[in-house]
Amino acid sequence: MRATRAISTTAVFLLLGFTVPAYAGQEKQEEKAQPPKQEQQAKPEKQQQAKPEQQQHAQQQAKPQQQHEQQQAKSQQDQQQKQQHQKQQQAQADKQQQAKGQQEQQQEQAKTNKQQQQHTQQQAKGQQQQHGQQNASSKGPQRTQEAMATQHAQPELRLSDRGSGRIPDERFRSNFGRGHRFRMGNPVMVDGYSRFQYGGYWFGYVQPWPAGWYYTDDFYIDYVDGGYYMYDLYYPGARFAITVVI
């Protein structure tokens, strides 16, 4: 009986002896295994810390290139806007030049039309005067043989150019106009031109003497259409251009 207890006791101690070293060895193995875990945990932290630095470095490197691209894009945009503005200005200038040319052409055409109209009016007026003079000649007064001989004996008129002389209005109203009739008489030669004197002024002949008119007829001088004209009372409606010599 005692031998059995001794054997049991011995077995317990032996079991405890084996168990303690084994547990201690397990703890040592666990301690040895723990540092790699800490190292493995530290590596991601370092990697995570390195990532923002790399990103920041990459951003710093990409920033000048991005700025250069932005500046280049802005320069191209400014150049395009400048070219477009120049095209608009050129188009506007061309349009204005075209409008100016059309306006000048219209003015020139209007001027030409006006000159043609004035020329037509002058022709019509001259024909009317000539027709009136011819009619007046056919219906003129009876002339004596002596008056006809005197008239035909006079030399041909030496004509003058129409001048720009003008009789003052007060003098004109006093001596000229329909209410002031006179007889001219025969023309005289002054400085190589045919002249006659009336109202204190010398007058020259601008056009040939009308057929049927006599120097001894009754006349009056009037200012019409910017010039002086002589009218023969025997031939109403007809007139003869003269110029005042001042």
CB distance 245 to 204 below 8 Å = yes
In this predicted structure, the answer to whether residue 217 has a pLDDT above a threshold of 90 is: yes
The pLDDT tens digits of the residues spanning 112-171 come to 778 777 766 766 665 565 555 555 445 668 899 999 999 999 999 999 998 889 999 999
Q: For position 58, what pLDDT does the model report?
A: 66
CB distance 235 to 141 below 8 Å = no
26 CB neighbour count, 10 Å cutoff: 10
CB distance 174 to 139 below 8 Å = no
**Residue for token digits 């306006």?**
103
* pLDDT (average), residues 170-188: 95
Q: For position 103, what pLDDT does the model report?
A: 87
How many residues are there in the chain? 246
Terminal CA-to-CA distance of the chain, rounded, Å?
187
pLDDT-derived band of residue 92, with 50, 70 and 90 as boundaries? Answer: confident
- The 3-state secondary structure of the chain reads CHHHHHHHHHHHHHHHHHHHHHHHHHHHHHHHHHHHHHHHHHHHHHHHHHHHHHHHHHHHHHHHHHHHHHHHHHHHHHHHHHHHHHHHHHHHHHHHHHHHHHHHHHHHHHHHHHHHHHHHHHHHHHHHHHHHHHHHHHCCCCCCHHHHHHHHCCCCCCCCCCCCCCCCHHHHHHHCCCCCCEECCCCEEECCEEEEEECCEEEEECCCCCCCCCCCCEEEEEEECCEEEEEECCCCCCCEEEEEEC
Q: For position 246, what pLDDT does the model report?
A: 85
In this predicted structure, the answer to whether residue 207 has a pLDDT above a threshold of 60 is: yes
